[in-house]
């Protein structure tokens, strides 16, 4: 019985520590990710998609000449998103699909891959590179472009 109070104290202490950590990653997320737009809903993307999106945002911040998130802030933001991200379904265990969601839902809703033919996707992909450049959003590099384009062609309206 003498150990009982000790247990309560240590439980209380670890709960407090946990609460503090959660509050601060929430704060950093809110602070950093509502600087340029409305705070995104953490449950709108899977964690692998968030990881790609954070890198794009870091790139956008640098293009704008502002200071990017420090490594510590980035870790906090990722920790916050990891806890709240949407669960991945099996069809999404595909890197092309992740890059597609990460890069093609920044300015509008996710396009449905089967709404266009492969030929039309090829034209849209080139047009979207231009739209990204105009908006100050980094363009897809060659590898990302290939990944997204093949994913779309695979799922296209044949
Ligand atoms: C320097 C400005 C800037 C900062 C800071 C920034 N973003 Fe963005 N973000 C953009 C731009 C530019 C777009 C493209 C669409 C637009 O023009 O609003 C965008 C779009 C998005 C989108 C797609 C729109 C949506 O709400 O679903 C998400 C998701 C996103 N950002 C996540 C983040 C996250 C997470 C952070 C914090 C790490 C962040 N952004 C910080 C500039 C920024
Ligand atoms: C920088 C913002 C931005 C990003 C990122 C972006 N788009 Fe777009 N997208 C636009 C705009 C703006 C339009 C409206 C049509 C136009 O002006 O070209 C559009 C329209 C579209 C349309 C509809 C075309 C039509 O004729 O109705 C499709 C499909 C599309 N985008 C696919 C994509 C794909 C695939 C990606 C990822 C590779 C992507 N978008 C990324 C800005 C963006």
Tell me the ligand closest to 104's alpha carbon: 2
104 and 59 assigned to the same domain: no
Dist CA 131 CA 37 (whole Å)? 18
Dist CA 59 CA 140 (whole Å)? 12
81 and 130 assigned to the same domain: no
Domain ranges, residue 110: 94-158
Q: Whose CA is nearest to atom 16 of ligand 1?
A: 107
Measure the CA dihedral 48/53/58/61, to 10°: -170
Residues 47 and 87 sit within 8 Å (Cβ to Cβ):
no
76 and 29 assigned to the same domain: yes
Which tops the pLDDT comparison, 23 or 57? 57
Residue 27, token pair as written in the block:
């704060």
pTM, whole model, 2 decimals? 0.88
5 and 69 assigned to the same domain: yes
Supply φ then ψ for residue 81, to 5 degrees.
Answer: -70, -35
Q: Is 143 exposed, middle or buried (0-12, 13-18, 19+ CB in 10 A)?
A: exposed
62 and 124 assigned to the same domain: no
pLDDT tens sequence across 116-142: 999 999 999 999 999 999 999 999 999
Number of domains in the chain: 2
Q: What's the gap in Å between 128 CA and the centre of ligand 2?
A: 5
Chain-centroid distance of CA 138 in Å reads 15
Q: What's the gap in Å between 108 CA and the centre of ligand 2?
A: 7
Kindly tell me if the per-residue pLDDT of 87 is higher than 70: yes
Q: What's the gap in Å between 137 CA and the centre of ligand 2?
A: 12
99 and 147 assigned to the same domain: yes
Residues 151 and 96 sit within 8 Å (Cβ to Cβ):
yes
8 and 81 assigned to the same domain: yes
Residue 35 CB less than 6 A away from ligand 2: no
103 and 58 assigned to the same domain: no
50 and 29 assigned to the same domain: yes
**How crowded is residue 118: how many other Cβ atoms within 10 Å of its Cβ?**
15
115 and 59 assigned to the same domain: no
Tell me the ligand closest to 149's alpha carbon: 2
Kindly tell me if the per-residue pLDDT of 18 is higher than 70: no
Q: Whose CA is nearest to atom 5 of ligand 1?
A: 35
- Closest atom of ligand 2 to 137 CA is 1
Tell me the ligand closest to 135's alpha carbon: 2
Query: 13: pLDDT confidence band, cut at 50, 70 and 90?
Result: low
30 and 63 assigned to the same domain: yes
145 and 118 assigned to the same domain: yes
Residues 152 and 104 sit within 8 Å (Cβ to Cβ):
no
């Amino acid at each position: 019985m003498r150990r009982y109070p000790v247990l309560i104290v240590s439980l209380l202490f670890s709960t407090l520590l946990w609460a503090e950590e959660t509050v601060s990653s929430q704060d950093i997320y809110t602070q950093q990710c509502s600087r340029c737009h409305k705070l995104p809903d953490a449950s709108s993307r899977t964690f692998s998609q968030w990881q790609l999106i954070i890198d794009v945002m870091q790139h956008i911040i640098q293009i704008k000449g502002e200071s990017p998130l420090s490594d510590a802030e980035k870790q906090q933001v990722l920790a916050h998103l990891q806890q709240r991200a949407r669960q991945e379904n099996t069809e999404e265990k595909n890197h092309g699909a992740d890059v597609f969601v990460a890069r093609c839902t920044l300015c509008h809703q996710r396009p449905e891959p089967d709404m266009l033919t492969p030929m039309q996707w090829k034209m849209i992909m080139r047009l979207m590179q231009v739209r990204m450049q105009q908006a100050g959003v980094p363009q897809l590099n060659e590898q990302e472009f290939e990944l997204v384009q093949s994913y779309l062609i695979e799922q296209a309206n044949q």
